Amino acid sequence: MRLSHRRAAVSCLTALAVSLVALTGCSAGGAGQAAAAAPETSATPSASAAETGPTAAPDGGAAPDDTSASPSAAPWAGTKQFVQIDDARTSGGLTYLSVRPAQKEAHPQFEAWVIVPGKGPYTEVPVAEDAQVLLSVPIGDAKHAASYSQAEFVSRLTAQSSSARTLVGYDLSFDGEGRVTRLQSLYTS
């Protein structure tokens, strides 16, 4: 069995297990409290996450095991994900990103990445106030990632056309509450 098929199968089984726990109300408070405590967005990765499978870690290795996040936690809590970002906004002093899983492949001829877009809906995730934002071309100014403020990132992303946004991928790290603590755009030529 190819590694990508195995990863997709593991993702599907993980999503199924989390869904069953949520449906059976195995929490201490019962099904009524589980439903009341559920966030507006799904606690499990969307179907597109199952389709694309786990993403590679920034060093090219396998992503951390997603099963460490509790079913009541926000999507991707405590994990690293490779995503596309469709939109970003600031509200009440916090930054929010509209993301969906994607895949990255090394460019066959250049020292750059090729982004394989994901499918399915985007999910909005919050960014921690002290999150590190590292950008490289085409969102940043140079090939090598440099530090930017969240406000600069939002401005630069929203200045891009929607078709240009689909060509950029990001490595995101999430804390245990599902907030982005580190965002790094990948260099694409």
Per-residue pLDDT tens over the stretch 106-127: 888 888 788 898 999 999 999 9
CA distance 184 to 147: 9
Of the chain, the percentage scoring pLDDT greater than 70 comes to 61
Are the beta carbons of 70 and 173 closer than 8 angstroms?
A: no
Average pLDDT over residues 80-93: 95
Grade residue 128 by pLDDT with cuts at 50, 70 and 90.
very high
CA distance 147 to 10: 35
Residue 41, pLDDT score: 36
Per-residue pLDDT tens over the stretch 2-22: 444 444 544 544 444 434 333
Tokens 């990132």: give the residue: 153
Residue 93, pLDDT score: 92
> Is the pLDDT score of 149 beyond 70?
yes
Residue 123, pLDDT score: 94
Q: In this structure, what token pair is assigned to residue 54? A: 């786990």
Per-residue pLDDT tens over the stretch 32-74: 333 333 333 333 333 333 334 333 443 443 344 443 444 444 7
CA distance 33 to 22: 11
DSSP the chain: --HHHHHHHHHHHHHHHHHHHHHHT-STTHHHHHHHH--SS-SS--HHHHHH-SPBPTTSSBPPPGGGS-TTSPTTTT-EEEEEEEEEEEETTEEEEEEEE-EEEE-SSSSSEEEE---S--EEEEEEEEEEEEE-TTTSSSSS-EEE-HHHHHHHHHHS-HHHHTT--EEEEE-TTS-EEEEEEPP--
CA distance 149 to 183: 11
Q: Where are the domains of the chain?
A: 54-185
Higher pLDDT residue, 70 or 133?
133
- Residue 123 pairs with which residues in a beta bridge? 99
Q: In this structure, what token pair is assigned to residue 175? A: 């804390």
